[in-house]
């Protein structure tokens, strides 16, 4: 059973959760890119922390998303 079948057989509520997590992750990615651009354009007036801190949140969000889908895969695989 591959991940496509797992997602195809998942409940609507589960798909919505995955999409919400993915949307949050994409918003964080956009915020990280925007922060990086502002840090570069500020000519050193802004700290690099403005770009580093949101990237840590992106890593956390992607980790949570991967763990959630992996857990879903193992639950469906056992059935």
pTM of the shown model: 0.62
- pLDDT tens for residues 37-74? 887 787 777 776 777 777 787 788 888 888 887 787 77
**Phi, psi values for residue 77, rounded to 5°:** -70, -30
**Beta carbons within 8 Å of 5's beta carbon, 6+ residues apart:** 76
């Amino acid at each position: 059973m591959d991940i496509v079948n797992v997602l195809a057989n998942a409940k609507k509520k589960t798909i919505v959760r995955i999409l919400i997590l993915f949307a949050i992750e994409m918003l964080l990615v956009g915020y990280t890119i925007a922060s990086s651009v502002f840090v570069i354009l500020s000519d050193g007036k802004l700290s690099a922390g403005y770009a580093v801190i949101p990237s840590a949140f992106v890593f956390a969000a992607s980790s949570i998303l991967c763990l959630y889908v992996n857990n879903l895969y193992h639950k469906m695989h056992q059935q």
